[in-house]
Amino acid sequence: MNTKIKYSICVANLNMGKTIVKALSSVLDNLDETFEMVVVDDGSTDDSHVRLEELKKKYSNLRTVYLSKDKRRTLAETRNISIVEAKGEYCLMHIDCDDYWYPYLTDFVEVFHLVQKLHTEDILLKGHQVNMGKKDFLLENGPYKFGHMVEDRDMWFRFAKIKRLVPIDHVIFRSRMPLSRKQKFQKKFQKKNLNQNLKKLVFLPVAKKKQVCLEVVAEGQLTIQQEEVADAKINK
C-alpha cells in the first residue's frame, strides 16, 4: 500500500463518457498526494475508456478498474468493488460521473474527523451525495447490498440500525450535469426496478408489533421511523 494515500474516492462508471472528464476533473483538481481516485468501469460501451485513459495521463492519483459487461452485476456490486480496490484507509463514496463538484470535499473530510473524535466507534458520515467511513469498517458492515437506485438508502438504513450512521446537513457543493438521451434512458430503465427493490427492504417486525420502516424521498434523503403496525408495507 502506498503509505502516502490516506483517502480513496470511490467511483462507479457506466457510459458517462460525455460528462466523466468534467466530473472527475472537478474533484481531482482539488486533491493532494494523500488522496487517490479509483474508478470502476462497469463495461461501458461508449468512449469512457478513452476519456479515462486521457485523464490518467494528467492525474497520477487516478486509477481505473475495467470490468467486462455483466448484466447480472448491479450498481451496488460495482460500488463495492471500488471500495475493495481502494488503497486508502478511508473511503469517500457516491461520487458520480455526471456531477460537478465544487472544491469542498476536503472540508467534508475535515468534518468527518471532527465528528469521528466524538464517537468511540467507527461511523459512516452521510452528507448530501457523499458518504465517508473507514474502508475496513465499511467492508465489515456491507456496505452496499441492493441493486440499483436504493443501494445507498439500504446502506444508510443498516448503519443506522447499528447506531453508526451520522447524517449531517450542509450546503450542497455539487451540481448535476445534463444527461445525454442514452443516459436518460438508462436512468429511466433503472427506476422501473425501484419498487421491486423497495419491497425487499421490508424487515421482520420486532415482537410482532414494531417494524422499522424506510421512507425514500426526493434527492436521496432518508427518514427512519418506528411504527406500531402488524404488517408494514412500502407503498409504491
Task: Note the pLDDT tens digit of each residue in 8-53.
Answer: 999 999 999 999 999 999 999 999 999 999 999 999 999 999 999 9
| Structural domain boundaries, residue 54 | 7-194
Question: Does 225 map to a domain?
Answer: no
Whole-structure pTM value: 0.76
pLDDT band per the 50, 70, 90 thresholds, residue 195: very low
Position 178 pLDDT exceeds 50: yes
Mean pLDDT in residue range 168-190: 73
Q: Residue 74's domain is classified under what CATH number?
A: 3.90.550.10
The gap between the terminal CA atoms of the chain, to the nearest Å, is 46
Number of domains in the chain: 1
Distance from the Cα of residue 53 to its chain's centroid: 23
Question: Does 216 map to a domain?
Answer: no
Q: Which of 64-78, 104-118, 143-157 bottoms out in mean pLDDT, i.e. has the lowest?
A: 143-157
pLDDT band per the 50, 70, 90 thresholds, residue 146: low
Beta bridge partners of 91: 8, 133
Residue 234, class by beta-carbon neighbours within 10 Å (0-12 exposed, 13-18 middle, 19+ buried)?
middle
Question: Does 211 map to a domain?
Answer: no
Question: Does 26 map to a domain?
Answer: yes
The pLDDT tens digits for 212-221 are 333 333 333 3
Q: Are strands 165-167 and 124-126 parallel, antiparallel or unpaired?
A: parallel
Position 232 pLDDT exceeds 80: no
What lies within 8 Å, CB to CB, of 77 at 6+ separation is 144
Mean pLDDT in residue range 64-72: 93
For residue 91 the three cell numbers come to: 473511503
Amino acid letter, 31:
L
Question: Does 2 map to a domain?
Answer: no
pLDDT band per the 50, 70, 90 thresholds, residue 183: low
Q: How many CB atoms neighbour CB 202 within 10 A? A: 15
For residue 101 the three cell numbers come to: 463538484
Question: Does 235 map to a domain?
Answer: no
Find out whether 56 and 62 touch, Cβ atoms under 8 Å: yes
